[in-house]
Amino acid sequence: MDTSIEFQAIPRAAAGRSAGGRPAQQDDLVCFHDADEGTHLLVLADGLGGDGAGELASEGVIHVARQLWEQRLWKEQPGSLFLESLCQQAHAELHRRRVGLASGEPHSTVVAMLVRGGQVFWVHVGDSRLYRFQRGRLIGRTEDHSVAQLKRQRGELTESELASDPDQHKLLRALGGPDAPVVEHGCAMLRADQAFVLCSDGVWEQLTTQELGRLSRRRDQHLALQEALTSAVQRGGMHGDNVALIFARPGPDGWARRWRDNFLAAVRRAVVIRRPTSEQAAAMRNEV
């Protein structure tokens, strides 16, 4: 079992992955940040397909994300359109990577988030997830494109039973299939004290929503990430899945905003120039 963790970090986000109990690492991720534009792009992919195709697939998704970021298409396109383009171009890339393979078919999930202009846009295909927390309280998560999630919607499973259901790994959507993927979109205004979690199924099958919410609030995101991934690998054991995880808090912290507002209010009070009364004005003229 491989317990080593590969880390990435950018301002206000931290990411990591571990092979866990698998011989190959089929999870991949990348984080980008443009300070001048105040923009973040976070992308996570979980490959599948057998005979090394899964590793090839997830790497292909990240390759396309890196290309589009470097081309700065996120500046020219609306957020939802940019993320849709990322998914469709990644799908096409997986088809190109299939050529010449003796066996195996590269498929991948994807979950991606773009933060720009005070808004958050996200997409997902498959069972890699995005969670949104407000001060540690869950306010939303993506719904998996899996048979198990379909059973949950029908009332056949509880939320806590999803991770252990035998149909959990049967996906209804993925990149790299015969047809263009149907991409699920979401968007919201960026608020203070919000945290976002992007993860592969190897993480959310082992960690509860409450645990992810608690860890997402940690001021030291690197240590929070290390604790989360270590726990996921240990709980998965010798035959556990790959794990990949991103913690992000791209908005202002509530305490920082309140301190700033109080400070600015104090400054405004200190520099207020009071208009003299009529008697004071007359006295000033007489002195002159």
pLDDT at 54: 95
pLDDT beyond 90 at 178? yes
Q: What pairing do the DSSP bridges indicate for beta strands 194-199 and 184-189?
A: unpaired
> What does the pLDDT look like over 103-141, one tens digit per residue?
889 999 999 999 999 999 999 999 999 999 999 999 999
pLDDT at 286: 53
pLDDT beyond 50 at 273? no
Could you give the dihedral angle defined by the CA atoms of residues 79, 169, 175 and 199, in that order, rounded to the nearest 10 degrees?
30
65, with CB counted inside 10 A (0-12, 13-18, 19+), is buried
User: What's the CA angle centered on 2, arms 141 and 149, to 5 degrees?
Assistant: 25
Read off the pLDDT of each residue in 2-16 and give the average, rounded to a whole number: 94
